[in-house]
Amino acid sequence: MVQGHDRRYHAGAALTGPRDVELTPAGLRAILVPIADDLGDRLGETVHLWLRNGPLLRLLWGLPGSTSDAVAHDRWTTIPAHATASGRALLARLPNRRVDDIHVAGLPPWRATRVSSLRSLKRRLSVVRQHGFETTFEEGIQGASGAALCVCDPWGRPVAGIGVAVPSSRFSRNDLPRYHEALEAAREDAEREIGRVTGGPDTTGSAVVR
């Protein structure tokens, strides 16, 4: 309990719980870029940070890989969420009714994505929810494949997608455990730091919103 200016006692932060805080894109960038930089150093590949805006993803930050054939880090700034690993990882954290609302006008057209209808998208999202991890093979970006996870805030809201992009010519399923491990570590660091900045509870590894 704390005493207010009126000399009455009121429930303090320990009783009322943390405030429900929403981070701005600038705030998210300040938190996530150092973590994405560490991820890029660990894997040597291009790392993208994405924010969802309706059915689209917008690039928050791109960090180039260290190899001569690295995927471009800043060429694509807007892309349909359903056509990317990061986008599907973000959408998978939402209940299907929200996915329906987001795509009330249908899926935005895109090139070679294997997800071509809302029905197939929701089937794919059910798989992502089971694994908490998504991959893409030349769907969102020609010549690029990769893997991604969703970063959530302390209240369970999906706030950003973090993904690693690899040239398809050397992308191998045998490398997926390594990508997954590195991405999970980055996600845990990101969610812990978001919790610290917002004063929210530590919810790293929280359950999927269904």
pLDDT at 21 over 90: no
More confident residue, 41 or 208: 41
Domains of the chain (ranges, CATH numbers): 25-170+180-198 (3.30.450.40)
More confident residue, 206 or 68: 68
Q: What is the pLDDT of residues 59-90, one digit of tens each?
A: 999 999 999 999 988 878 999 999 999 999 99
**Both structure tokens of 46:** 């291009």
Q: What is the pTM of this model?
A: 0.85
Stretch 178-201: mean pLDDT:
94
pLDDT at 123 over 60: yes
The predicted structure's pLDDT at residue 203? 57
